[in-house]
Amino acid sequence: MPATRFICPDGQRVGIADCLRSCPNSQRCMFLPTLRAVANSLDRKLSEPTVTELIAGTRETFLKKTTDYAVDPASVLYALHGQAVHSINEHHTQGEILSEERLKDEITSGQFDLFGKILDADNGVLGDLKVTSSFKLMKALGIYKAKVNTGEVYKTGAKKGLPKFRTELRFDGVRDLLDWAIQLNYYRMLLERAGFKVNRMYIQALCRDSGLRIAAERGIDKPVYIIAINKISDHWLEKYFHHKAKTLREAIATNTLPQLCSVRERWNDRKCLGYCAARENCPYAQRLVKEAIEDERLIA
């Protein structure tokens, strides 16, 4: 089921329909059309799990589909930016490029962004549009920070005699874009089964904090990056999505909370603490939040 409540800036929760009808405060936190757009984006109309839902942690998707939860409208704005970028591209395909088509098989369904001559004369290019952070881009491009010995030592203070280090950016790290690759490869597989030949795959990533110092410090100096995606085995994709879909359907049928999302799926617990929309209904996330609050009190 979709989110049922908005979280106001003061922390109170109000039903989405009630909010749109009449704000409980003296002034809205956003323009009414913006709030309506947020509400519409949260209204999931597809009952069967999609590719993106299956890539997420099974527990997260289960809770979003079976429990009521509240959402801070401000946290959805970046997703709206992504929808706007999709809409802009879709309106400029000139009829020669396939865009926003939903395909399905016996396991799941997926809606790819662009397919055709989107980069050069090759009409078999599959593209996906992302609006993301410089942190995510840094990981996807294999950029990392390394401490380099300067050859000098501290002359005074508590570190006297210890070597000095400086931080340098390195660009030869492992590219962390597995979720993007899995998503785009499944779209590729659906397209190929529909009779289309996919020759290459790319992500067009728009950096939402481009131009800020934090982005530059991460080695991100352009607003847009084109990232090539390698092919993943169809056999592996089928096994992965079949397992995820079966586990989710069984959990919904028996109303049984699935096992904890993997470390990767929960971003080493960062997602549980502040980014999973259904975290208030997850016992593990609530325990983490409680422990974080207790730690803050001890520090204070």
pLDDT in tens, 77-94: 888 888 888 888 888 888
CA distance 49 to 43: 14
Q: Enumerate residue ranges in the chain where pLDDT < 70.
A: 1, 44-46, 298-300
CA distance 298 to 300: 5
Confidence at residue 299, expressed as pLDDT on a 0 to 100 scale: 67
N-terminal to C-terminal alpha carbon distance within the chain? 39
Residue with tokens 């982005």: 215
Residue with tokens 């549980």: 272
Confidence at residue 300, expressed as pLDDT on a 0 to 100 scale: 58
CA distance 243 to 107: 10
Quote the tokens at residue 108: 């799941």
**Is the model's pTM score more than 0.95?**
no
Q: Transcribe 107-163 into DSSP letters.
A: S-EEEEEEEESSSSS-S-EEEEEEEE-HHHHHHHTT-EEEEEEEEEEB-SSTTBTSE
